Amino acid sequence: MELYFLGTNAGLPTTQRNVTSVALRMLEERRSSWLFDCGEATQHQILHSPLKLSRLEKIFITHMHGDHVFGLPGLLSSRASQEGSPPLTVYGPAGLKAFLEATLNATQSRIDFGLEIVEHSGGVIFEDSQIKVEARALEHRIESYGYRMTEKDRPGSLNMELLQEWGVRPGPEYGKLKNGESITVNGRLITSDQVLGAPKRGRIVTILGDTRPTPGIHPLADGADVLVHEATFTDEFADLAHKYYHSTAVQAAEAAKKAGVGELILTHFSSRYKDQDQLRPLLQEARSVFPNTQLAIEHQTFPIRPSAQEREKE
């Protein structure tokens, strides 16, 4: 499980950065990727990435501002041109369905894969045996949401030394033991509890849309291994951030500290910050409050690791 940033700029693209989009890659877990927001030119960014449209399973839209949705019709049309594309579900706030239907119909775009559009107002919006997705409203100029992805607990590690000692070879038997079943090898009954370690806590990833500081962030971010939070401005522009319903790097760090997250990744930077050198003050300000902070960098992978506390338990 890892994050891959396709766009990190706020409002407008620049020659250095594209507008907002980030992928959650779960190739080992689900053999698919999920996309969060789809600003203009996201599909071009995907062409320069290891991501594949055919493996895109779900798209989550935080809010309906153009820098978060203008790339969606083009991406869907391009995906439709690839034969055999599997079904895709797009989640987002009210207005998403009308926007997509109008643009796809007006351009006579043929979407011949199964496309489901789900408008929501928060709560649990998806859950299966592997993962649960919750949404909660934030505070922005229009309806804006954050998403919390909670991976279900995974089976513990097999005791390989003991399995080898008892003559269990790699293969289907390993899978049965992982699933809690018992097997018989050389006349010996082997139960899963004999060879399986304690379950591993599922990882938690929180990705927020545009927002001012608001109490709604805490339930989404509480105990998350990774929090992706907008940081449009440095602290000197706190008044401007408040006026336009955005956050500063310090405010993002304060939210991360309060929620006890493992790692904070800042994104959605104002175009006034032209390059990495000009973004460094945002990182420094955030780290003064929450040391384990990173800047989102386009076309860079950020692995989702369990927080330090969880690693100690394991």
Does the annotation flag 48 for ligand binding?
Answer: no
Does the annotation flag 225 for ligand binding?
Answer: no
Total count of domains within the chain? 2
Same domain, 105 and 213: yes
The Cα angle at residue 106 between residues 104 and 110, in degrees rounded to 5: 40
C-alpha to C-alpha distance for 138 and 131, rounded to whole angstroms: 22
Q: What is the mean pLDDT of residues 219-233?
A: 98
Same domain, 213 and 244: yes
4 Rama sector, left if φ>0, alpha if ψ -120 to 50, beta otherwise: beta
DSSP string, 198-227: PPBPPPEEEEE-S--S-TTHHHHHTT-SEE
Does the annotation flag 65 for ligand binding?
Answer: yes
Distance set, CA 216 to CA 113, 225, 261 (Å)? 35, 18, 15
Check residue 314 and give its pLDDT. Answer: 45
Same domain, 31 and 165: no
DSSP 8-state secondary structure symbol assigned to residue 155: P
Q: What is the 3-state secondary structure (H, E, C) of 9-57?
A: ECCCCCCCCCECEEEEEECCCCCEEEEECCCCCHHHHHHCCCCCHHHEE
Same domain, 258 and 149: yes
Q: What is the mean pLDDT of residues 2-31?
A: 96
- CA 68 to chain CA centroid, Å, is 14
Residue 72 has pLDDT above 60, yes or no: yes
Which of these three, 195, 221, 247, is where a domain ends?
195
Same domain, 254 and 308: yes
CATH of the domain at 289: 3.60.15.10
Same domain, 223 and 89: yes
Residue in the structure block whose two tokens are 């405010």: 251
Same domain, 34 and 96: yes
Name the average pLDDT for the chain: 94
pLDDT top residue among 31 and 305: 31
Q: Tell me the percentage of the chain whose pLDDT exceeds 90.
A: 83
Tens-digit pLDDT profile for residues 125-166? 999 999 999 999 999 999 999 999 999 998 788 999 999 889
Are the C-beta atoms of 116 and 90 separated by less than 8 Å? yes
Q: What is the mean pLDDT of residues 72-98?
A: 96
Q: What is the mean pLDDT of residues 292-308?
A: 91
- pTM for the model stands at 0.90
Q: What is the mean pLDDT of residues 198-215?
A: 95
Are the C-beta atoms of 248 and 290 separated by less than 8 Å? no
Does the annotation flag 120 for ligand binding?
Answer: no
Q: What is the mean pLDDT of residues 274-300?
A: 97
Same domain, 34 and 142: yes
For the beta carbon of residue 200, count every other beta carbon within 10 angstroms. 16
Check residue 151 and give its pLDDT. Answer: 97
Same domain, 90 and 115: yes
Residue 174 has pLDDT above 50, yes or no: yes
Check residue 308 and give its pLDDT. Answer: 54
C-alpha to C-alpha distance for 283 and 248, rounded to whole angstroms: 11
Same domain, 104 and 223: yes
> What sign does the dihedral 148-250-285-246 (CA atoms) show?
positive
Same domain, 191 and 204: no
pLDDT top residue among 217 and 176: 217
Which of these three, 140, 172, 195, is where a domain ends?
195
Same domain, 99 and 127: yes
Does the annotation flag 275 for ligand binding?
Answer: no
Residue 313 has pLDDT above 50, yes or no: no
Residue 180 has pLDDT above 90, yes or no: no
Residue 36's DSSP bridge partners are 22, 60
73: its two tokens: 């019709």
Residue 274 has pLDDT above 50, yes or no: yes
41 Rama sector, left if φ>0, alpha if ψ -120 to 50, beta otherwise: left
From 45-49, 184-188, 266-270, the region with the lowest mean pLDDT: 184-188
Which residues belong to the active site? 67
Check residue 307 and give its pLDDT. Answer: 65
Range of 190's domain?
Answer: 160-195
